[in-house]
Amino acid sequence: MVEIYVIIPFLQKHFYAICFLEVYAVTQTVIKWCENYNRNNMNNSVNSLINNTISDIYKGFLAYMSAFEKLTKLVPRNFSERNWDQLQALHRKRLRLYKDKLGVTIEKCRTHLGNQAFSRKMWREIKNAFSEHICDQPDQELAESYYNAVIRKTFPGLAVDEELMFVYQAYKSCHIEPSTSLFNNYPPGLGLRKIFEQIMLDFDFGAPFYDKEGDIDYLVNGVKEIILSRYSTTRNTTTQVLKSVFYRNKAAYLIGRTYIGNKWMPFIIPFVHNEKGVFADTLIFDPNIMSGIFSYTRSYFMADIKIPAQVVSFLNSVIKHKRPYELYNAIGFNKHGKTEFYRDFLEHLSQTHDQFVLAPGIKGMVMTVFTLPSFNIVFKLIKDHFDPPKNMTRQQVREKYKLVSLHDRVGRMADTHEFEYFHLPLDRIHPDLMQELKNTVNSLLEIKGNYLVIKHLYIERRLTPLNLYLEECSLEEAKQIVEDYGDAILQLAKANIFPGDMMTKNFGVTRQKRVIFYDYDEIEFLVDMNFREKPRPSSFEEIYAAEPWYDIGPQDVFPEDFKRFMIGRQDVKQHFFEVHRSLFDPCHWNDIKQKIQKGELLHAFPYPMSMRFRPEEEI
């Protein structure tokens, strides 16, 4: 043990040094405590930002889905009451819903994040935490798309970014096996007639049937003629019908499948409601017609769907060649359909090597259009300057495309998706296309590294331009296609759409040989147009006047002038004029206009009239 008389002199000699060391130690302790305190506070602050942002996005998504479901649940009543105006209004309101809810969410996120909205590190944390937050969500894939939309608008200038966004889905949503909670199951032991009787009981449309027994007779005979004439039932035979009813315009569609002949045989039963009651209109087994019912040229269905991925899975088994994005579009989840399309696009790019080129056909005065030959899509960009006589603005063109997105497309107008900051690899762009883009849409272009960034574009299904199709097809094919061309114009008219520029270059032909309109910059509502007969000249001066000698209003249309430009191919021109005489008659156009003004909804059937069970005069 050290004696005290030895320590005291040592303490006296080193007193100040000891005090300094003690103060230093205390100071270091305080500094470390402050650092830990600040670090904890900072972590708490960051965690709070992350949690608040996740909460904002998740609550915004739930609010959207709740409102979407609420509007959809109103549709069956509109169908049962034949309230078509309200049904159409619900459709438009539901389409606007996403943008409205998204705007609220974005504003909240911007408020919470402040300058952190530009932080990649912050968004990485948010994405990871959000992914965990929605892992048990039955509509997880839709929540991911909602998140993507939020970050794109909250983080300015952000392009598609796999690190910060759900570029690839977390799970294969369309490979989930359908649950029996999704469909009604009808075993073969019931017998064919009993099965249809049970189906009619299970699906109550809230209105009396016109002729239920007659419907069952038609359906039974249809199955016997198409299915049982080729296949026999076994103990494994079963029929499944989705519990969700698909409503559109004046019809309600039941989607089902029967396991027979060691494979699933899909079918669709459309029900129509008129003043006589509800009735089964036909029974559809043809896969091409079924595909057309879910076509990109038709309005989205209104159907009460709990788990979208599983409904898409079921539909995919029924309509096999439809891509998942097309089915998501068809059932009303078009924003996620856009996500699924982009995933398809990225996958296709990774597996191909061809270059983007200008789309075939006559160059447009308003749009620059290009395509990837191996991919069945065109990319449309609004030009910086329009060639005469076009005198509209870029914003006016965008409004025309918006009009189409909200309107009933009656199987005659192509659906579009709108993209911002769309990335394309520079080495995949043909030099001729690059030069054309620089000449016509330079303000929309930006080069970042190895990518061309396009600030705004539309994507649309690629079709064969009608003018090109007419140059190459046979006389018989030409006659059929010009008849459908006229039908397309008249069906658009009945849906209150006047195409404006009706030249054949503005229409396309599908693989099913159906004519579709795809140039929307001059589109107008039919009821806003004034259809007139051209005044007859009464003097030599009027006959040879360089300019029209009569007044012409901005909305005036003279149908007799259509003959000058509608068909260029000489050997079918007269056939077209004879088949579609009404196209050149202002009285016919005004008759359609008056019906629309009276509130009449002119239903466009997505299948041939010859397929309907009953003659038109009966119903």
Spell 416-441 as b/e; 16+ CB within 10 A means b. bbebebbbbeeebbeeebbebbeebb
Single out the residue of 565, 558, 566 nearest to residue 535, CA to CA. 558
d(CA 286, CA 226): 10
Note whether 215 and 282 are within 8 A (CB).
no
128: number of CA atoms within 13 Å, CB side?
8
135: number of CA atoms within 13 Å, CB side?
6
- Phi, psi for 263 (deg, rounded to 5): -155, 165
The set of catalytic residues is 415
d(CA 278, CA 206): 9
Residue with tokens 């189906």: 199
* Burial of 599 per CB tally in 10 Å (0-12, 13-18, 19+): exposed
Q: Which helix (H) or strand (E) holds 50?
A: helix 15-73
Structure token pair of residue 100:
């409205």
Could you check whether the bond before residue 389 is cis, i.e. omega within 30 degrees of 0?
A: yes
Note whether 309 and 139 are within 8 A (CB).
yes
Note the helical H segments in 352-454: 394-406, 431-440
- Phi, psi for 429 (deg, rounded to 5): -100, 120
d(CA 444, CA 440): 9
Compute CA distances 130 → 112, 123, 159, 573, whole Å. 16, 10, 20, 61
How far out from the chain centre does Cα 7 lie? 89
Residue 446 β-bridge partners: 453
d(CA 583, CA 576): 10
Note the helical H segments in 155-266: 192-202, 212-223
Q: DSSP letter at 233?
A: -
Note whether 293 and 607 are within 8 A (CB).
yes
d(CA 500, CA 523): 5
d(CA 202, CA 186): 11
- Phi, psi for 196 (deg, rounded to 5): -70, -35
Structure token pair of residue 618:
């009966």
Compute CA distances 478 → 115, 465, 570, whole Å. 61, 13, 11
Note whether 296 and 315 are within 8 A (CB).
no
d(CA 293, CA 606): 6
d(CA 565, CA 507): 13
Euclidean distance between the first and the last CA atom of the chain, given in angstroms as a whole number = 117
